[in-house]
Structure 1
Amino acid sequence: MLSLQQISDRLEIQDLVAAYSAAVDSSDWDGLDAVFTPDAIIDYTEVGGPRGDLSTIKAYLARVMPEFKSFQHMTGPTQLTIRNDGATGRTIVFNPIVFSQGENEHVLFVGLWYCDTFVRVENGWRIRERREERCYMHNMPGWFVQQPA
């Protein structure tokens, strides 16, 4: 049986995963400050992006995401292990991305997992490390290649 603290921790971490999706999907790059620790490392290399600290990733997202017409992060269950003030999690993600190719619209379907390391800080839980683990990319345009940070 889970204690009230364990239930609270799980709910707070689930909210944190949702807050990441909400920030990215609304292009609120500064909203990521409430999701990650200041020293966080984020690794998008398996899906064509960079690996870097929070400021590097925010600048990358601000530059690259406007190239797409729309996008949506849909997260599924998180397999979560909590130990005191630290946790690890693996969350399933489906991320359709709409882009224009000439006069036509296409949808890139990205399936991945967020592999996260969480830490409890003074004002709640934050992500200290995120690595995106690629499962599939369907309908990838030829121009979509790794963009430098």
Structure 2
Amino acid sequence: MMDRLAVDDLVTEYAVAVGDGDWTAYEGLFTADGRADYRAAGGIEGDAGQVAGWLAESTAPFAVRQHLIVNRRVRFGLLDHDTGDTARVRADYLTPTRLTDAGAPAAPDLMCGGRYDFALLRTPQGWRLREAVAHEKWRRPPAAEVPVP
């Protein structure tokens, strides 16, 4: 049960780091060889540092963003030759954002959703991400502003 809680906390920390744009914290959630793959969402695949840099650049226009990760399914010991120190998490995500232009009113929302596949490893520092793969399923682009009467 303690491992289940620790894994859940790690996924929550991932969501908070992405939502808050805390790329140092994001990198710290991964193993030294950890990788992330956002290609299905129009992004890149690479080590945690490379992906953190891409995320920082691609999310910079969004003054407000949330990264919600829900419906977490946790499975322990599914990797080859496991000794009880690995886990897999499949979870859905929803990312509402708000665009802004300097000095202009806020633009309409951009939203997307999909599913993550996480591979985790127990390390001396606790559970860390070995892999995070985003599978975007849908995206709602900004609609034209509707004037308020």
TM-score normalised over the length of structure 2: 0.83
The answer for unaligned runs of 5 or more in structure 1 is 1-6, 142-149
Q: Which residue of 2 aligns with 1:145?
A: none
Q: Which residue of 1 aligns with 2:43?
A: 49
The answer for unaligned runs of 5 or more in structure 2 is 78-83, 144-149
Rg comparison, structure with higher value = 2
Between 100-109 and 70-79, report the one with greater CA deviation: 100-109
In the alignment, which of 41, 56, 68 is matched to residue 62 of structure 1?
56
Which string of whole-angstrom CA distances, capped at 9 and with x for unpartnered residues, describes residues 94-143 of structure 1?
111112488661111111111011110111101101100111111268xx
Distance 2:71 2:42 in 1: 24
Distance 1:134 1:63 in 2: 19
Runs ≥4 residues deviating over 6 A: none
> Which structure's relative contact order is higher, taking Cα pairs within 8 Å and 6+ residues apart?
1
Distance 2:56 2:94 in 1: 21
- The Cα RMSD (Å) is 1.8
Distance 2:106 2:3 in 1: 45
Distance 1:60 1:104 in 2: 24
In the alignment, which of 105, 127, 130 is matched to residue 128 of structure 1?
130
Q: Which residue of 1 aligns with 2:81?
A: none
Q: CA contact under 8 A between 2:20 and 2:65: conserved in structure 1?
A: no
How far is the alpha carbon of 1:70 from its aligned partner? 1.2
Q: Which residue of 2 aligns with 1:33?
A: 27
Counterpart secondary structure, 2:114: strand
Distance 2:18 2:117 in 1: 17
In the alignment, which of 101, 112, 116 is matched to residue 114 of structure 1?
116
User: Between the two proteins, what is the percent identity of the paired residues?
Assistant: 28
TM-score normalised over the length of structure 1: 0.83
